[in-house]
Structure 1
Amino acid sequence: MNRANLVLHAKASIDRGSKSFALASKLFAKETRERAWMLYAWCRQCDDLADGQDHGHGMSTVAAPQRTIAAMRMLTARAMSDQSTGKPAFDAMGVVAQECRIPPKLAQDVIDGFALDAKEWRPQTEDDLYQYCYHVAGAVGCMMAVVMGVSAGDDETLDRACDLGLAFQLSNIARDVAEDNAAGRCYLPKDWLSEMRIAPDHMMDASRREALTELIGRLCDLSERYEASARVGAAQLPFRSRWAVLAAAGIYGDIARAVRRSNGAALDNRVVTSKAAKAAWVVKALGQAVRKPKYVDRSGLWDRPRG
């Protein structure tokens, strides 16, 4: 496929895979929007391969997970070294990598997150939780920042971009506790579960629902802290990119806020945000994009790996 066809393929992927990100991406300038779509297509394809899904739906058992991860690494490395793979999502990643000089390590960091899932890894500590969130979302935030023009050496802005990825993933985990449990997964740190006297194999027992709800609330609180930090970094972006990032932050942040407000009901019914609420954030983010954000110090927040 030539670049134009790769862009069309990527647009179809984001339209099907994430209505929230698809909406926010429309706020980017044309070139940045196309690059964001192509990066999303690669992320979506890797996620689907790792979880036996189709655009995030219908998780199924992957017969040879380690082989799948190895193939993912090989195809990504080939694409990022400007070689055709014959796989549209990977070739799209190659185009973005060449145009924006995305560090290959960031892509491999993302794949490391899928490798953790493939070996049924579970976080023991809160720090482990952040490490996982970095791999599956924080590193993507760093790549998106580079796509939006941030230098790969601008550690301060990349830290804030990583924070937004952490906020997104913490929201996802808070929303999907019951769904993950049904799939045999748990991203709540074992230390947290032990603190609340929740047995990992009986996490959904009615007798532990109040304690589990408290831990989910803790995830939501953390998500808001990282979202607030990320908003500071958005001020370093071009106006259209800043507007898009702030809209995405608000839309995704609403997931965590809705989960907290549900007071445990999110364990029974998946939280979704309405089209009207998403549109409202587009308007609200426009106002935020023209104002200087309130400064939030990163002291006490998790630091992404360097080098």
Structure 2
Amino acid sequence: MTRRELDAAGITDPSLRAAYTQCRRLNARHGKTYFLATRLLPVEHRAAVHALYGFARWADDIVDDFHRRRTPGERDQLLRRLERDLAHGLLTGSGGHEPVVRALADTADRYDIDPMLFADFMASMRSDLSVTDYPTYADLRSYMHGSAAVIGLQMLPVLGTVVPREEAAPHAAALGVAFQLTNFLRDVGEDLDRGRVYLPADLLASHGVDRPLLEWSRRTGRRDARIRAALVAAEAMARDAYRQAEPGIGMLDPRVRPCIRTAYTLYSGILDAIAHHDYTVLHHRAVVSRGRRTAATAAGAVQVVGARLRARATRPAPSATGRTLEWKGPVR
């Protein structure tokens, strides 16, 4: 499957193919929901999406350092080295030392992705080394611009739109934010173990919750009605981001809509799972059931077939002279 994706994307250089393959492995290993949806994309688009995900995951793993093998100073050095490598790769188009950077630089060049989107992403990654909480939702939104909204904006040139890109951009950014708010809610216990609280302090305080109360609940396994109320409010915040994002799906190339719709369904399904388990995210990680994932992917596959049939039906037909008739459909 990897070879088919690379061939379809026109990636022929052996070292570049290896770099993209590493990004695909990162997506398959860590982005299970995301990877599942990616498989519904037209085959020629998948390598670029793997590159975008692979780079983001690589940077995120440096910041989080799950095994606690590096000091904050060492992680800062690694992140700055990655940033220099990225800047060089984007400037020269030849990539850098890290395979994920080579794949990303190639994707950015192929799709003319704004380099500032990657600069903003790296700025948010660096803030994770020192910032451990956010006083207000406005503060969190500033962070999420670089950590989430720009991911949606990076994806737009790859996916393609049937409207001017700037019209679809706010919805793409909102979808990135919606996905990240879902992750924050799902991972609140794990993030607390890493010393971080991503839920805004003003939202928590409005329900009588602070970090010590969250830590007590995490440590003892005991529940508190105030925490539950704050988590319900956080869910509503995420749901609002999904509502802002949803109109943008119809602005995408029809062939990619089933993929994004499936990702939308699966990620918002995490919120459903959190609610189903009565907001016990401090003690248990909510996941979408295998049956629901399978059903959503199957529905997406049916939509893919329909989109391909419609695209085939609108292809130009040969004229009596053997020349192709002009096609009036949207540019793909």
The verdict on a shared fold, with TM-score over 0.5 as the criterion, is: yes
Q: Secondary structure at the match of 1:163?
A: helix
Structure 2 equivalent of residue 25 of structure 1 = 38
How far off its partner does 1:15 sit? Answer: 1.0
Matched, 1:104 2:115: yes
Aligned to 1:242: 257
**Cα–Cα, structure 1 residues 42 and 198, in superposed 2: closer, same or farther, change >3 Å?**
same
Cα distance, 1:60–1:185 mapped onto 2, change above 3 Å:
farther
Unaligned runs of 5+ in 2: 1-13, 308-332
What residue is the counterpart of 1:182 in the other structure? 193
Match of 2:172 among 152, 161, 168: 161
2:233 and 2:300 map into 1 onto residues whose CA distance is 26
Pairwise mapping of residues 23-102 of structure 1 onto structure 2 (< 5 A)? Answer: 23-53=36-66, 58=67, 61-64=70-73, 65-81=75-91, 82-102=93-113
Whether the aligned pair in 2 keeps the contact of 1:72 and 1:111 (CA below 8 Å) is: no
Shifted more, 11-20 versus 119-128: the winner is 119-128
Could you say which residue in structure 2 is the equivalent of 1:119? 130
Give the Cα–Cα distance (whole angstroms) in 2 for the partners of residues 93 and 223 of structure 1: 29
Matched, 1:211 2:226: yes
What runs of 5+ residues in structure 1 fail to find an aligned partner? 292-307
Q: Is the 8 A contact 1:146 1:152 kept in 2?
A: no
Could you tell me whether the CA contact under 8 Å between 1:246 and 1:288 is conserved in 2? no
- Percent identity at matched positions? 24
User: In the TM superposition, what whole-angstrom CA distance separates every residue of 1:198-222 from its partner, at most 9, and x where no partner exists?
Assistant: 2323324358721111111122122
Match of 1:283 in 2: 298
Question: Contact 2:162/2:252 (CA < 8 Å) preserved in 1?
Answer: no
Contact 1:78 1:85 in 2 (8 A): yes
Alpha-carbon shift at residue 286 of structure 1 (Å): 5.8
Query: Cα offset for 1:281?
Result: 1.2
Q: Match for 1:255 among 270, 279, 295?
A: 270
Distance 1:202 1:79 in 2: 45
CA distance in 1, matches of 2:301, 2:249: 12
Q: Are the counterparts in 2 of residues 80 and 98 from structure 1 also a CA contact under 8 Å?
A: yes
Q: Higher mean Cα deviation, 159-168 or 69-78? A: 69-78
Q: Note the C-alpha offset of 1:23.
A: 0.9
Q: What letter corresponds to residue 116 of structure 1 in structure 2?
A: S
User: TM-score, structure 1 length as denominator?
Assistant: 0.86
Q: Which whole-Å deviations, capped at 9, do the CAs of 1:232-274 have from their partners, x for residues lacking one?
A: 1111112231110110111111111211222232221111123
CA–CA distance in 2 between the matches of 1:150 and 1:105?
A: 21
Distance 2:167 2:69 in 1: 39
Amino acid corresponding to residue 85 of structure 2 in structure 1 = L
Could you tell me how far apart the structure 2 residues matched to 1:273 and 1:149 are? 29
Partner SS, residue 209 of structure 2? coil
* Larger of the two Rg values belongs to structure: 2
Q: What amino acid sits opposite 1:165 in the alignment?
A: G
**Mean Cα displacement is larger for which, 212-221 or 146-155?**
146-155
Matched residue, 2:18: 5
In the TM superposition, residue 138 of structure 1 has moved relative to its aligned partner by 1.2
| Alpha-carbon distance between aligned partners in 1 of 2:97 and 2:162, rounded to the nearest angstrom | 30
Residue 150 of structure 1 contacts residue 157 of structure 1 at CA under 8 Å; is this kept in 2? Answer: yes
Q: Partners in 1 of 2:129 and 2:162 — Cα distance? A: 32
Q: 1:4 to 1:125 in 2, by over 3 A?
A: same
2:204 corresponding residue in structure 1: 193
Alpha-carbon displacement from aligned partner over 1:132-159 (angstroms, at most 9, x marks no partner): 2222111111101122125997322111
Aligned match of 1:227 in 233, 237, 242?
Answer: 242
Alignment check: 8 A CA contact 1:24 1:282 kept: yes
CA–CA distance in structure 1, aligned partners of residues 172 and 256 of structure 2? 12
What is the alpha-carbon root mean square deviation over aligned residues?
Answer: 2.4
Aligned residues: 287
User: 1: distance between equivalents of 2:163 and 2:129?
Assistant: 29
- 161-170 vs 77-86, which moves further: 77-86
Corresponding letter in the other structure for 1:221? A
145-154 vs 129-138, which moves further: 145-154
Q: Secondary structure, in 3 states, of the residue corresponding to 1:269? A: coil
* Distance in 2 between residues matched to 1:169 and 1:89, nearest whole Å: 22
Going from structure 1 to structure 2, the CA distance change for 1:99 and 1:235 (only over 3 Å counts) comes to same
- Of 131, 134, 140, the match for 2:142: 131
Query: Is the alpha carbon distance of 1:8 and 1:286 closer, same or farther for their aligned partners in structure 2, counting shifts above 3 Å?
Result: closer
**Letter in structure 2 aligned against 1:14:** N
Matched with 2:326 is none
1:294 counterpart residue number: none
Q: Are 1:168 and 1:252, in contact at CA under 8 Å, matched by a contact in 2? A: yes
SS in 2 for 1:250: helix
Q: Displacement of 1:287 after TM fit?
A: 6.9
